Amino acid sequence: MLHVSVPPPPPTGGSQQQGGSACPARSVSQLHKPRRKRREEKEEEDPARLTTALPAVAPVMARVLVVGAGLTGSLCAALLRRELPQGLLRIVVWDKARGAGGRMSTSRSSHDPRCSADLGAQYITCLPDYAKKHQSFYEDLVTHSVLKPLTAPIEGVQMKDGAENFVTPQGISSIAKHYLKESGVDVRYTHQVTHIFLKDGKWQVGFNIDSSDQFDVVILTMPVPQILQLRGDIKNIINKSQRQQLESVSYSSRFALGLFYEAGTQINAPWAAQYISDNPCIRFISIDNKKRNIESPDIGPSIVVHTSVAFGTGHLEWDKQKVQQLILDELKNIMPSLPKPESIKCQRWRYSQVTQAFPSSPGQITLHTKPLLVCGGDGFIHSTFDGCLDSAMSIVEALKSSL
């Protein structure tokens, strides 16, 4: 059970003192009758007091920290807001990055922020099994123009029967942004969690080296190896069996290159994106604005290149500049007439997609019940929109059953 404490009512008059600082949860109707009667009588004498006297007791909200403003964390925030009464929880989302999205991130050209590229996830694939289960989520995202059906030609794509692909006209990070906006929660970027301590029945969460704050509930949504890197009491709280299972979770690694061009640049290719199976370095190329169906004469095109997992793993610890040059050299072999970009961004995805999920894919696991500490994310299920959604839903269920 999560304890939501209610403070004693404030004194209603100069002479009325409340005894004791801690008292059990109670509602306005449970307050001492005689005192209330006296107050009502006073209010009748002075109508202006009515507005200031109500409510006499406001419940103290449980503070919930969601670590990660990627898809799972953003969905958690939105679902908690949807499913639990306003005023019960005060939710805060922290992310070490400068913006939302996590591995569903959208990068922007330093010359023109309207020229953008999705360096992580490329599109959302809705499989038939999930189309019904998550129908309302897809409908909501399509209604708000966050998702649009993918109509541009993708060469070499392998589609399962009945599957449907969706793109994000405003960039893939717009999905997480949509849920954060819906939740209305307080989101803090450049907040890197480093320590989690248990102190006086609450979580003392350390961030950015020398700062900390206290929470009643903590939800971790980052890749599993980054959970295992956290210091403080969490190290002892994770039991031996959980640690073994967490250590069994694995991810592929790859690099992504974003090439940003000046407005008016022509990229000549018959496809919007292409999977390449016979190149040791490059696995996927996308003309990102074409893939997203947002080609415009005023905004420059952008290209995204994903390396193969074998190349990513083999060069994981290499200097990024050197890796960038290797990818550009290989790209020139595949697309010799490609013009020179205005700017380039090289992204190292150490934890790209889940290759081995947490045993039996529970969506979340509870590391500690009182106070509650749970972790979820694609590592606990699989690396898709539907996986993150299932994970977020199971995190919310875990929190609800602790209330």
Ligand X SMILES: Cc1cc2nc3c(=O)[nH]c(=O)nc-3n(C[C@H](O)[C@H](O)[C@H](O)COP(=O)(O)OP(=O)(O)OC[C@H]3O[C@@H](n4cnc5c(N)ncnc54)[C@H](O)[C@@H]3O)c2cc1C
The footprint of ligand X (CB under 6 A) covers 67-73, 94-97, 102-104, 120-124, 191-193, 221-223, 226, 254, 256, 306, 349, 352-353, 377-378, 383-385, 388
Instruction: Rank residues 125 and 343 by Cβ distance to ligand X and give the closer one.
Output: 125
Q: Which is nearer to ligand X, 70 or 258 (CB)?
A: 70
**Alpha carbon distances (Å) from 320 to 33, 122, 255, 256, 347:** 71, 22, 9, 11, 8
- CB-nearer residue toward ligand X: 9 or 331: 331
Beta-strand pair 89-94/273-275: unpaired
Other CB atoms within 10 A of residue 319 CB: 9
Report the residue number, 9 or 175, with the smaller CB distance to ligand X. 175
Write down the least CB distance from residue 254 to ligand X, Å: 6
CB of 183 to ligand X, least distance (A): 14
CA dihedral 147→149→151→156, nearest 10 degrees, is: 90
Q: How far is the CB of 8 from ligand X (least distance, A)?
A: 36
| Residues in a beta bridge with 206 | 195, 212
Which has the closest alpha carbon to 375: 244, 241, 224? 224
Q: Write down the least CB distance from residue 351 to ligand X, Å.
A: 7
**Residue 373's closest CA among 250, 247, 235?**
235
Q: Given the complex with ligand X, which of 39 and 282 has the nearer CB atom?
A: 282
* Minimal distance, residue 38 CB to ligand X, in Å: 51
Q: Which is nearer to ligand X, 49 or 348 (CB)?
A: 348
Distances in Å between the Cα of 392 and the Cα atoms of 30, 63, 374 are 36, 18, 11
How many Å separate Cα 158 from the centre of its chain? 27
Q: What whole-number distance in Å separates Cα of residue 240 and Cα of residue 4? A: 31
Closest separation in Å from C-beta 205 to ligand X: 9
